[in-house]
């Protein structure tokens, strides 16, 4: 692994410790992110427990087809991300680059789907406001959560895609030799964004099915 | 960990230049990843904001001399106390000790060449600047009038001021403290030097560890609550809108889930600083080191479970009031233990009266008063009578200003020779420390009294029976302002004309003192190794019979 | 030389297969759970639908975290950090609901 | 203005709160004395250069000291908690019989409605030696009715009822004010609390210009808004009969149950979809915007009076 030393940064004495450090740091950031989303979920849980019927009515209007496709896309992207990290660890350059590209592409496909879904929602005026088609009023609250939750998730995913592309470029241009330390953090982050979606999916899409 | 060698540590014969000589251009400072320089960037920015926040409250105190006001409209008054709160909490107190002394001292204390992620460290400062830019914009565009607590529905639907920009500033600066927290946690976990075991960590390092944990876990919840407020205000998404079935109390729950632990973010580092100062200037081991560590941890964790005592009259359920009241009493126990331990540290010491020690004693006294009045507010019936009154204002200022700022000043003076290599004027420093303590008490003791008598907070016009107390308080604020300006002058003076400091002017034992002052860029001249317990000022269980300072042995070996 | 290359390629493809196998199995399990979750949402179970879906989501996240995020092989401190996120979330829910569920209005 | 308008202990509860305050003040004072005393003694003995001998401190002893004061602090805090909580718990239970006064807060004024129909703004007349219960709501942001002489404070939230109750023992004119920041004129959203003898209160009530009591005003509204068209026992429209509803459990169409209290009745008018009683068609119109908070109080008072009549009838 001597050629991998180009990825070593201050103040780390060696790559193995650096990778551990980056992983640990990212997990700590994720613990922070968990609390970020926990606040959102807590709000959802409180309101749902007092407006169960309204939330059921409201979530029956989400686009389950788009939601389900997106779930599959993200699960698959997690697969390619895992393989990318493991390939990078054993310095399989070709496979790493392929899997990184696939991950970014799946992420982008998710965003496209999300965009189409938003378009569909807006066509039905499902944005809280004076012309909101559903009643009782608490349905607006559900849709408030819908827009905030999916919006924040999409922002996280966009950030993820950008970082994946950055790592891809670094590897592709050989600025940094292919190895796991550089992308350890990215991989963990990507899986986290996926996990968040796994919670959003039942909360937003499945809650209102018959 | 023990076999790690640090390739970035310089060879033995390296020396000469300190971190200050690594570049003299502005650009070299703005692009630095050296934790010591970032600490100085932070120190300059928070000092600036401290004085902006100070001017805001100076105007408020001046206005309050008369029960019917002197020169402000009610809207202007509301904006001034709001901006004072926002700036002092998020742009001064939260980053104060961690981002300056934590950044500078922590890696040296544990024998690390730098923090774990130096570039993230620089990013955190830029995030701070970004958040600060929003806040300055708010200030210039007419201010915000919600109070620093941003309660809906006032902030979401009724306020006519720039709420979103203010929330954005706090949101961004929140990520700066998360970045700092992650960095410190990873540093303490991964980069301790050989021999620096967990229970050899100085208490300041422990306090940085706990405070980082609190920052990392609490701040995101604030970010989310402000995001929800902004979404409601900007897009009309009815999250806290009672007309759609929303509950404004949910915001308060989320807000205080952060903002109560935020009080510990402010006070825990202060506890760390004064532990160092007490040990050094009493020439004693900190009494009950193990208990001190565990009480830090307990405060950090239990501090997350007490937020509801801010909501006793808010419409929370009586059962919740009872539970939060109970937990609030519990969290006071470790704080009390710390007060007793600091006091006991003085026993059989060789106590000196240098400026850092006077500041630390000021901290001890004010923290005791602040903590004890906290017990009043944890008792539901008294809290019902005094919440949202000046009693609460005085209570949290005693902790946050009396406690944290005193400890901040203690730390600044203690580590000033380390950071700058210069000695400040001892007489003026002692004078400023005593003035600060007196000024503080004159400012806030009247507020305790009038709060208990029934003076509500955030009042522009007030019943004239409280005028005498307000005048006293404003007079104290003048003394306090002078006391805050004095260090600015004599510390700046010392930079240019101060006597050159020896490497370890206090004969302290911490690892950070076993290297030249100011330290070289890589912190140590050769890889440090720790071979003793912290605060090794005397033999175990025994004080020195003589006051011979040279007998203090360094904790480590790195010079 | 070419023999060496072939051997290298064979080794590489064997390695590649090994790299895909573990995560691939996890992926299949996740897809299966996703299908169960989607299907059960349409089953007329009465009140428990969301609860079941959330439970399945929890299993999926556990799988993802254990195998794809490799918490299985992580150091203790990493597990502690992951658990801390969960613990503090529970803390928040417990104390917030302590208020809401005991309100009488 | 006189400071006694704030500090007078105008109820037994206020006296209790003050006792607790004094107790904690004494304990705090002792702790401050202890800590500062120790510091002074240590400084006097062990200042640098003093010749006081510094002998050994055995480790075990310091351990015992440590545990000792931890336990002592814990128990004294638990004692304080017990004292405070028992005060809180006894003050919690609202009285069965109370004079009910409705409070509507808005930026930046107070409106009070007495059961007799009397209304007042920024001034609250209450009888002494009588249980008084304030049912409060806000029309805009969060306010807080702070009654310093009674040591009481309670936030007032929009679209929700919160309550405050007291039994005053002293007559006089006291101050009340808003204690939750509510915007520009927060600091002048105040008024006076007039505690009078029950006889004076009766006289004051009688002298108020409003002839009808709250329930009768509600009855008039009940007819003018068309409520009576459906909610009358003989009506052809299938709607719940409101006699005897108040205070009883109702089963809702979504399977849940609620007690028909003020908050429920209010929701019925403003959120009819979520409060529909099981077995009735969803035909109740939404009265949001058609009635203000004061009118809702009148309607609720009327519906309560229907139950009171029936309870009285049952007892006969």
Instruction: Write out the residue range of the structural domain in which residue A114 sits.
Output: 63-125+144-200
The reported pLDDT for the residue numbered B10 is 40
Determine, yes or no, domain membership for A31.
Answer: no
For range A120-140, the mean pLDDT: 88
Alpha-carbon distance values, B423 to B160, B254, B403, B504, D69 (Å): 50, 46, 25, 11, 40
| Angle at the Cα of B223 from the Cα atoms of B219 and B122, rounded to 5 degrees | 65
Digit-coded pLDDT (tens) for A40-69: 999 999 999 988 888 989 989 999 999 999
Digit-coded pLDDT (tens) for D190-200: 999 999 999 99
Residues 252-271 of chain D with CB under 8 A from chain B are 271
Task: Give D202 or B3, the one with higher predicted confidence.
Answer: D202
Whether residue B276 contacts residue B204, with contact meaning beta carbons closer than 8 Å, is answered with yes
Query: Which residue on chain C is closest to A31 by alpha carbon?
Result: C85
The answer to whether C90 contacts chain A (CB < 8 Å) is: no
The reported pLDDT for the residue numbered B3 is 35
* Residues of chain B where predicted confidence (pLDDT) is lower than 50: 1-14, 547, 549, 559
Q: Do B317 and C92 touch (CB under 8 A)?
A: no
Query: Which residue on chain A is closest to D271 by alpha carbon?
Result: A136
Q: Do D179 and B339 touch (CB under 8 A)?
A: no
Q: Tell me the β-bridge partners of D136.
A: D103, D162
The reported pLDDT for the residue numbered C95 is 95
Best of A31, A92, A149 to disrupt the C interface (most C CBs within 10 Å) is: A31
For range A200-204, the mean pLDDT: 94
- Residue of A3, A103, B14, B463 whose CA lies nearest to D190: B463
Whether residue D227 contacts residue D124, with contact meaning beta carbons closer than 8 Å, is answered with no
The answer to whether C82 contacts chain A (CB < 8 Å) is: yes
Q: What is the CATH number of the domain that holds A106?
A: 1.20.120.80
Q: Which residues contact D267 (CB under 8 A, 6 or more apart)?
A: D274, D275
A118 neighbourhood in chain B, CB within 8 Å: none
> Given this structure, which CATH class describes domain B37-557?
mainly alpha
- Residue of B411, B288, B402 whose CA lies nearest to B345: B288
The reported pLDDT for the residue numbered B165 is 95
Determine, yes or no, domain membership for A154.
Answer: yes
**DSSP reduced 3-state for B505:** coil
The reported pLDDT for the residue numbered A4 is 66
Query: Which residue on chain D is closest to B311 by alpha carbon?
Result: D155
B291 neighbourhood in chain D, CB within 8 Å: 66, 70
Respond yes or no on whether ipTM tops 0.95.
no
- Residue of A82, A155, A60, A76 whose CA lies nearest to A114: A155
**Residue B376 corresponds to which tokens in the numbers above?**
């009043």
Digit-coded pLDDT (tens) for A131-160: 889 878 889 999 999 999 999 999 999 999
The reported pLDDT for the residue numbered B14 is 46
- Residue of D26, D27, D25, D16 whose CA lies nearest to D75: D27
Element (H, E) at A92: none
Digit-coded pLDDT (tens) for C58-77: 999 999 999 988 888 888 99
Task: Give B18 or D166, the one with higher predicted confidence.
Answer: D166
**Nearest-CA distance from C45 to chain A in Å?**
9
Query: How many domains does chain A fold into?
Result: 1
Digit-coded pLDDT (tens) for B417-468: 999 999 999 999 999 999 999 999 999 999 999 999 999 999 999 999 999 9
Digit-coded pLDDT (tens) for D109-165: 999 999 888 889 899 999 999 999 999 999 999 999 999 999 999 999 998 999 999
Identity of the highest mean pLDDT range in B233-237, D84-88, D293-297:
B233-237
């Amino acid at each position: 692994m001597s050629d991998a030393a180009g990825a070593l940064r201050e103040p780390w004495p060696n790559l193995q410790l650096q990778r551990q450090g980056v992983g640990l740091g990212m997990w700590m950031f994720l613990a922070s992110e968990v609390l970020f989303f926990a606040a959102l979920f807590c709000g959802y849980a409180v309101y749902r427990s007092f407006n169960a019927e309204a939330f059921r009515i409201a979530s029956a209007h989400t686009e389950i087809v788009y939601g389900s496709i997106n779930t599959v896309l993200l699960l698959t992207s997690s697969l390619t991300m895992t393989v990318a990290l493991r390939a990078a660890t054993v310095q399989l350059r070709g496979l790493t680059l392929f899997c990184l590209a696939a991950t970014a592409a799946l992420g982008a496909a998710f965003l496209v789907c999300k965009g189409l879904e938003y378009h569909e929602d807006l066509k039905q005026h499902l944005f809280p406001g004076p012309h909101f088609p559903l009643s009782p009023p608490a349905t607006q609250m559900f849709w408030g959560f819908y827009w905030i939750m999916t919006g924040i998730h999409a922002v996280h995913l966009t950030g993820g895609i950008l970082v994946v592309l950055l790592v891809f470029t670094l590897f592709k241009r050989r600025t940094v030799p292919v190895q796991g330390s550089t992308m350890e953090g990215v991989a963990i982050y990507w899986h986290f964004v996926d996990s968040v979606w796994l919670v959003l999916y039942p909360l937003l899409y499945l809650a209102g099915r018959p | 960990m023990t076999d790690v060698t640090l390739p970035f540590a310089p060879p033995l014969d390296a020396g000469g230049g300190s971190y200050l000589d690594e570049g003299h251009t502005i650009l070299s400072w703005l692009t630095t990843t050296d934790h010591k320089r970032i600490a100085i960037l932070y120190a300059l920015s928070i000092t600036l904001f401290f004085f902006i926040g100070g001017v805001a409250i100076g105007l408020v105190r001046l206005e309050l001399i008369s029960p019917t006001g002197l020169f402000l409209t009610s809207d202007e008054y509301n904006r001034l106390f709001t901006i004072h709160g926002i700036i002092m909490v998020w742009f001064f107190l939260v980053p104060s000790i961690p981002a300056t002394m934590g950044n500078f001292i922590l890696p040296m204390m544990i024998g690390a060449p730098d923090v774990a992620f130096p570039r993230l460290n620089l990013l955190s400062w830029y995030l701070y600047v970004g958040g600060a830019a929003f806040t300055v914009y708010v200030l210039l565009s007419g201010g915000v009038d919600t109070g620093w607590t941003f309660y809906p529905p006032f902030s979401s639907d009724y306020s006519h001021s720039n709420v979103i920009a203010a929330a954005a500033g706090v949101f961004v600066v929140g990520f700066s403290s998360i970045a700092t927290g992650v960095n410190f946690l990873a540093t303490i976990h991964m980069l301790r030097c050989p021999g620096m075991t967990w229970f050899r960590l100085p208490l300041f390092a422990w306090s940085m560890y706990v405070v980082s944990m609190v920052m990392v876990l609490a701040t995101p919840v604030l970010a989310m609550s402000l995001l929800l407020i902004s979404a409601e205000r900007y897009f009309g998404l009815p999250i806290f809108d009672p007309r759609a079935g929303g509950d404004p109390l949910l915001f308060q729950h989320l807000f205080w889930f952060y903002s109560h632990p935020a009080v510990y973010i402010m006070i825990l580092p202060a506890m760390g600083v004064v532990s160092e100062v007490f040990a050094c200037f009493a020439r004693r081991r900190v009494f009950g080191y193990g208990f001190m560590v565990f009480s830090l941890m307990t405060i950090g964790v239990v501090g997350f479970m007490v937020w509801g005592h801010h909501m006793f009259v808010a419409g929370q359920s009586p059962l919740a009031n009872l539970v939060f009241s109970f937990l609030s009493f519990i969290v006071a126990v470790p704080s009390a233990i710390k007060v007793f331990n600091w006091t006991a540290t003085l026993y059989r010491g060789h106590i000196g009266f240098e400026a850092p020690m006077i500041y630390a004693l000021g901290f001890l006294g004010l923290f005791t008063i602040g903590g004890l009045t906290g017990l009043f507010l944890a008792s539901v019936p008294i809290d019902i009578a005094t919440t949202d009154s000046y009693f609460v204002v005085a209570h949290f200022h005693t902790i946050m200003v009396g406690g944290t700022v005193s400890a901040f000043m203690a730390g600044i003076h203690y580590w000033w020779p380390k950071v700058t290599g210069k000695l400040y004027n001892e007489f003026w420093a002692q004078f400023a420390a005593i003035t600060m303590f007196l000024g503080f008490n004159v400012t806030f003791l009247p507020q305790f009294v009038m709060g208990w008598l029934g003076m509500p907070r955030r009042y522009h016009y007030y019943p004239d029976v409280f005028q005498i107390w307000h005048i006293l308080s404003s007079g104290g604020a003048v003394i306090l302002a002078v006391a805050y300006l004095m260090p600015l002058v004599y510390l700046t003076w010392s930079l240019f004309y101060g006597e050159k400091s020896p490497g370890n002017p206090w004969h302290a034992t911490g690892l950070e003192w076993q290297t030249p002052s100011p330290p070289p860029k890589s912190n140590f001249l050769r890889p440090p190794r720790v071979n003793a317990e912290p605060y090794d000022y005397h033999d175990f269980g025994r004080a020195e019979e003589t006051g011979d300072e040279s007998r203090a042995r360094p904790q480590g070996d790195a010079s | 030389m070419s023999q060496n290359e072939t051997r290298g390629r064979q080794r590489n493809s064997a390695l590649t297969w090994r790299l895909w196998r573990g995560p691939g199995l996890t992926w299949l399990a996740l897809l299966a759970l996703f299908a169960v979750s989607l299907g059960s949402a349409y089953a007329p179970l009465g009140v428990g639908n969301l609860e079941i879906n959330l439970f399945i989501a929890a299993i999926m996240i556990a799988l993802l975290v254990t195998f794809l995020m490799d918490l299985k092989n992580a150091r203790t401190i990493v597990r502690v950090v992951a658990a801390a996120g969960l613990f503090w979330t529970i803390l928040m829910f417990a104390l917030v609901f302590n208020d809401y569920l005991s309100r009488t209005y | 203005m006189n400071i006694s308008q704030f500090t007078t202990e105008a109820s037994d509860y206020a006296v209790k709160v003050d006792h607790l305050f004094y107790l904690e003040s004494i304990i705090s004072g002792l702790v401050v004395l202890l800590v500062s005393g120790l510091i002074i003694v240590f400084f006097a003995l062990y200042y640098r250069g003093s010749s006081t001998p510094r002998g050994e401190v055995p480790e075990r002893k310091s351990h015992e000291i440590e545990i000792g004061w931890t336990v002592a602090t814990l128990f004294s805090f638990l004692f304080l908690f017990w004292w405070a909580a028992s005060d809180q718990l006894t003050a919690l239970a609202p009285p069965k019989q109370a004079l009910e006064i409705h409070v509507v807060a808005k930026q930046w004024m107070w409106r009070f409605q007495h059961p007799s129909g009397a209304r007042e703004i920024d001034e609250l007349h209450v009888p002494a030696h009588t249980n008084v219960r304030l049912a409060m709501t806000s029309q805009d942001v969060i306010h807080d009715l702070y009654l310093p002489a009674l040591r009481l404070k309670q936030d007032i939230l929009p679209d929700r009822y919160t309550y405050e109750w007291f039994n005053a023992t002293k007559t006089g004119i006291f101050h009340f004010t808003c204690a939750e920041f509510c915007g520009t004129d927060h600091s002048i959203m105040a008024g006076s609390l007039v505690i009078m003898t029950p006889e004076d209160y009766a006289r004051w009530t009688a002298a108020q210009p409003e002839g009808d009591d709250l329930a009768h005003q509600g009855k008039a509204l009940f007819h003018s808004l068309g409520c009576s068209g459906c909610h009358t026992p003989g009506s052809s429209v299938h709607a719940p009969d409101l006699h005897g509803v108040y205070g009883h459990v109702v089963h809702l169409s979504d399977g849940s149950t609620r007690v028909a209290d003020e908050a429920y009745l209010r929701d019925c008018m403003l959120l009819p979809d979520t409060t529909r009683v099981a077995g009735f068609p969803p035909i109740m119109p939404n009265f949001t915007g058609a009635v203000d908070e004061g009118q809702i109080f009148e309607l609720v008072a009327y519906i309560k009076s229907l139950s009171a009549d029936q309870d009285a009838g049952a007892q006969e």
